[in-house]
Chains A and B, each alone.
Chain A
Amino acid sequence: MKVLETDNSNKLMLLVARRSFVMCFVLLALLAGPYGHADDGALAIISNSKGAPEEMSISEMKDVFKGERQRWSDGTKVVIALMKTTTTIGNSTAQKLYKMSDQELNKYWLGLVFQGKAKAPKFFSSESELKDYVTETPGAIGVIGLISLGEGKSVLIDGNKSF
C-alpha cells in the first residue's frame, strides 16, 4: 500500500479516512476469515435418536454413507439423507465424503440401487427439511453443514462434531 501526502488539511483528512477504511477492512477480513471457512467446508452428521451410534470412526461413517452398511447395531434400517448436489452442502458432501463429482455420485447410487445392493439416499433441497426428515425417520442419518447443527442428535466422527 502507498500513502499519499498532501499539504492541506483536506488532503490530511482524506488520508486519515482512507487509512481508517483500510484498517477496518483488514480487521473485518481477519475477523470473518475463520467463520467463512467453517460455513464452506465443515460438515456435521445428524441422526435419528434410534439407530445410529453417538460416535463413529470416519471409515465407519464412509461405510454407512456408501451404502455398505444396511442396518444399525440395534437392527434399525439405515436410512441416508443427503443434500442435493446442486446445493453447496450437497456438492461439498460429494467431494468430502464420497470423493466424487456430482455426476459420479448419482451414477454410484444408481448402480447400487439398480443392483439392489443398497437403498438410495433421500436427497433434500434444504437442510431444515433434511433435519426434519432425520428427526422423524428411525435409523436415519444425514449430512448437514456444521453451522446448521441444532439441538438434535449429532454423531461425532472420530470425536469431532465436523469433518
Chain B
Amino acid sequence: MRTSVQTKIWLAIVSIVLIFASFMLVFFPAQHEKSLIKYFNQEVQNLSNTVSLGVKIALTEQNFEGVEMAMDYAKSDSRLIFASMIQLDTIWEKDSNSYKVEKIIISTYPEGFEASTEMASSDSIIVKASPFTSEIMKGQVMVGFTTKEIDKTIARIKKTSIIASFSVFLVGLLIGLVLARKISRPVLALRNAAKKVGAGDLNQQVSISSNDEIGELGAAFNIMVDELADAEDKIKKKSETLQAQNEIIEQKNHHITDSINYAQKIQEAILPPKSLIDKLFSHYFVLFEPKEIVSGDFYWISEAKGSGKLEKEEGSEMNMNSTRIVTVCDCTGHGIPGALVSMLASSVLRETVYSKGITEPAQILDSVSAALISSLNQTGESIAKDGMDAAICSIDYNPSNNNGEYKLQFSGAHNPMYLVRKESPTEVEVYKGDFRSVGFAFGQVTKFTNHELFVNKGDRIYLLSDGYIDQFGSEKAGGRIKKFTAKRLQKLLATIQKEDMEKQKSILHETIMAWMDGKDQIDDILLLGIEI
C-alpha cells in the first residue's frame, strides 16, 4: 500500500496524540487513583491512631482533651461514616489453657449507626482500627470513611484528562495541518517537477520557501535540472557530431563493402568453374564456407596432359586419361588480408603449373613457396610472415601407365589428405602434410615431401584446410571449449562412406553447423571430396 508523506505525518501526529491521550485517560487516572487510595488509607489510619491515643490518655490520665480534639477533627470530615470504640475482653476457658477475645462495641459515632466488629474495607468504605491499652480496659478504635470523595476526585481527574487530551488532540491537529502543509506541499511540488523532468522537460524549477532540508532538497533539485539541461545540450551536440561521423563512416563502409563485394567476384573468378570440375570428376563435392565475404582459402583444379603441359580450364577439351591436379590452399588470415594473399598465391600457383609445367605436387609447393618468398619480399630485414598452408595432389588417370590402377601423388604444407578405399570403406588413410608452410618458414628451408600411392576407381580422397577441424563448438572438455578435431572428422568420414558425394557434403555441412550451435565461425572452411 502506498502511503503519502502527508499521510505519514498525520499518522505520526495522531499516534503521538493517541499515546498521550491513552496516558492521560487511562494510565494517569489509574496511577492517581492508586495514590489517592494509598494516601487515604494512610490518612484514615493516622486518624484512627490519633483517636486511639486520645482514648488511652483519657483512660489513664482522665484528660479527655486529646480524644475530644481528635473526634472533633474526625467529625468535621464529611467522609467519616462512623467511629467506634471497641472493648476487648479476654475470656479464659475453664481449663485456663486457652482463651478467646470478645469484642464489644461500647460507643459509636454517630449514635444509631449499626457498626459491627467484623467490618472491613471495601470499594465504598475504608475501615481502619487502632488498638489501645490502659489499666482500665483494653480495646481498639475503629473508624470508617467513605470512598465517595475519592471517586469524585477520580471523576474530576478523568474529566480534566479528557479536556487535556482533547486540547492536545486539537493542538496535534493544528500542528499536523501546519507540518503537512509545510512538508508535503514542497515534496509534492518536487515529485511533480521530477516527473516532468523524467518525461524530458528540463525547464522545471521548484520554488524554495524554506531554508531547511526540504529547501536544500529543492535547491539541489534545481541545480540538478540545470546540470541535466547542460548535459543534454552537450550530448545533443556530441550526438549530432557522432551522427555526422556515422554518416561518413556509413558511406565509407558502403564503399568498402562494395569494394569487398567486388573483390569477392574477383576472388570467385580464380576458383575453377563448376563446369570444369564436372568434366574432370563425376563424383565430388566442394564444401566452401568463407568466414567473411572474401576468403583466405581457395581451391584450384586443373588437368595436365601426358606431355606435362596443362590445358586451361575453360573452353578446353578434356582428355579423360590425363593427369589432374587438385589443390586446397589456406592463406594466412582470412577476410581481405587472406584474400590478397590468396590472389597472389593463386597467381603464383598458376604460374608454376602453367608456365613452368611443374606437375609433381612437392615440386609445385617448393616452387610456389620460393615465388611467394620472392613476391612478398620475405628475404630482407622486414619480413612479412605471410604464406599459406596447402594440400595438393595429382592423379594420373591413364590406367595403362599403372597396370589398371591410378597413380596419386600428394604433398602437403601442414594440411593432410584423407583416403578412403572402396574395398575398406570404414578405414581412413591419413597422409599428413609437412610441418611447414608455403612461403615464409623459420630456420632452414627443406623441400616438401612427395607421397606416391595407387588408387582404384571408386576410392575417395579428401583435401581440407584447418577451418573445419579447428572450429570451436558448444561442448566443453575440462572447462575449455573443444575443437571439432581431425579425429572426429575422420570418424565421421568413415561412417558416411555409404553415401554419395553430394549427400556427404550435406552431412558434413549439417554436422559442422550443429557443432557450432550458433557460435561464430572462427576461420574459412574448405573441404573438398573427390571420388576417383
Contacts and interface: CB of A to CB of B under 8 A. Distances in A.
Contact of A106 (B65, B75, B111, B136): B136
B68 A119 contact: yes
A92 interface: no
A109 B110 CA distance: 16
Given A113-B64, A113-B71, A123-B62, 20 more contacts: A84-B62, A103-B136, A106-B58, A106-B59, A107-B136, A110-B55, A110-B67, A111-B107, A113-B58, A113-B68, A114-B55, A114-B67, A114-B83, A114-B85, A114-B109, A115-B111, A116-B75, A120-B65, A120-B67, A123-B63
A121 B108 CA distance: 20
Interface in A84-138: 84-85, 103, 106-107, 109-111, 113-117, 119-121, 123
Interface residues of A, number: 17
A110 B71 contact: no
B137 interface: yes
A85 B135 CA distance: 14
Interface string B208-231: 000000000000000000000000
A111 B106 contact: yes
A158 to B, nearest CB: 28
A85 B62 contact: yes
A56 to B, nearest CB: 24
Contacts of A120: 58, 64-65, 67-68
A114 B58 CA distance: 11
B68 A107 contact: no
A110 B109 contact: no
- The majority secondary structure among interface residues of chain B is mixed
Interface in B42-59: 55, 58-59
Interface in A1-17: none
A114 B72 CA distance: 9
Interface string B475-507: 000000000000000000000000000000000
B64 A110 contact: yes
Nearest to B84: A114
Contacts, number: 55
Nearest to B58: A110
A84 B67 CA distance: 17
Contacts of A116: 71-72, 75, 109
Interface string B125-160: 000000000001100000000000000000000000
Q: Which of A106, A119, A123 has the most chain B CB atoms closer than 10 A to its own CB?
A: A106
Interface string B97-120: 000000000111111000000000
Contact of B62 (A106, A114, A117): A106
Nearest to B51: A114
Nearest to B75: A116
Contacts of B136: 103, 106-107
A123 B64 CA distance: 9
Contacts of A115: 107-111
A110 B75 contact: no
Interface of A: 84-85, 103, 106-107, 109-111, 113-117, 119-121, 123
A11 to B, nearest CB: 58
Contacts of B71: 113-114, 116
B62 A107 contact: no
Nearest to A90: B62
Interface in B21-78: 55, 58-59, 62-65, 67-68, 71-72, 75
A106 B58 CA distance: 8
A116 B74 CA distance: 11
Interface in B259-302: none
Counting chain A CB atoms within 10 Å of each CB, the highest count among B62, B75, B85 belongs to B62
Residue among A103, A114, A115, A120 facing the most chain B CB atoms (10 A cut-off)? A114
Nearest to A121: B64
Contacts of A111: 85, 106-107
Contacts of B109: 114-116
B379 to A, nearest CB: 147
B244 to A, nearest CB: 119
Nearest to B68: A113
B435 to A, nearest CB: 138
A65 to B, nearest CB: 15
Contacts of B137: 103, 107
Contacts of A85: 62
Given A113-B58, A120-B58, A123-B62, A107 B108 contact: no
A32 B246 CA distance: 161
A66 to B, nearest CB: 15
A23 B55 CA distance: 55
Nearest to A104: B136
Contacts of B65: 120
A103 to B, nearest CB: 5
A117 to B, nearest CB: 8
B161 to A, nearest CB: 40
A16 B137 CA distance: 59
Nearest to B64: A120
Contacts of A106: 58-59, 62, 136
A116 B113 CA distance: 14
B111 A109 contact: no
Greatest chain B CB density within 10 A among A107, A113, A115 is at A113
Nearest to A123: B62
A107 B59 CA distance: 8
A107 B106 contact: yes
The 5 A-B residue pairs with the shortest CB-CB distance, nearest first, are A120-B64, A123-B62, A111-B107, A114-B107, A103-B136
Contacts of A109: 58, 64
